């Protein structure tokens, strides 16, 4: 009887081995069997100049809000803006558009507007504008004259996000 049990156990073992060898390997078990080596991220140093060139400055619109100083005549400022400010500042390479506006009122109200004048500067980038102002020798004089006309001007840098 012991011989029969040994034969039965032996035949079961042979069948199990046969079954295992005919099975197809599972995709998950195949992945587990051969782990991929981990790669280390290599950071290469980049020159500061290359970093600046890689990130171009974005186009912006600068809105300047201001009133004239006491004693400054509106006609004198407006003539200067047309003859000097717009041609010189508007001619900068980074300037896409430069317009000056005079407020007439507050829409739907008789309230006096808080600012009488507005300048709208569409520029290729703020950094580009600053660089162009530094390169144009006449801009120092234009900026000094503007400060004599404008009382505490506010320069608002904007980014278009809709429309």
Q: Return the domain boundaries, the chain.
A: 62-157
Query: Under a CB-based contact definition with an 8 Å cutoff, are residues 129 and 95 in contact?
Result: yes
Q: According to the model, what pLDDT value does residue 93 have?
A: 96
Q: What is the pLDDT of residues 66-117, one digit of tens each?
A: 999 999 999 999 999 999 999 999 999 999 999 999 999 999 999 999 999 9
**For the chain, where are the alpha helices, taking DSSP H only?**
2-22, 27-33, 48-54, 74-80, 86-89, 126-135, 138-149
Counting beta carbons within 10 angstroms of the beta carbon of residue 117, is it exposed (0 to 12), middle (13 to 18) or buried (19 or more)? buried
Instruction: Report the share of the chain in percent with pLDDT over 70.
Output: 66
Global pTM?
Answer: 0.64
Query: In this predicted model, what pLDDT tens digit does every residue of 43-53 receive, in sequence order?
Result: 656 555 544 45
Instruction: Tell me the two tokens of residue 112.
Output: 């006096």
For strand 117-123 and strand 60-68, is the pairing parallel, antiparallel, or unpaired? antiparallel
Options 3.40.50.720, 2.60.120.10, 3.30.70.100, 3.30.360.10; CATH of 62-157: 3.30.70.100
pLDDT at 54 (0 to 100): 43
Taking a C-beta distance cutoff of 8 angstroms, is the pair 63, 156 a contact?
A: yes
């Amino acid at each position: 009887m012991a011989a029969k049990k040994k034969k039965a156990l032996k035949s079961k073992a042979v069948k199990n081995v046969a079954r295992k060898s005919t099975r197809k390997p599972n995709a998950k078990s195949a992945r587990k069997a051969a782990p991929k080596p981990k790669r280390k991220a290599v950071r290469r140093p980049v020159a500061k100049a290359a970093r600046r060139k890689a990130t171009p400055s974005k186009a912006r619109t600068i809105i300047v809000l201001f009133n004239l100083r006491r004693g400054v005549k509106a006609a004198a400022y407006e003539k200067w803006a047309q003859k000097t400010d717009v041609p010189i500042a508007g001619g900068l390479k980074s300037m896409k558009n430069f317009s000056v506006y005079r407020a007439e009122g507050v829409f739907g109200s008789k309230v006096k507007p808080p600012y009488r004048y507005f300048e709208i500067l569409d520029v290729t980038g703020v950094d580009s504008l600053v660089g162009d102002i530094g390169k144009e020798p006449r801009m120092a004089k234009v900026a000094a004259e503007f400060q004599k006309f404008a009382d505490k001007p506010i320069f608002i840098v904007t980014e278009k996000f809709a429309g």
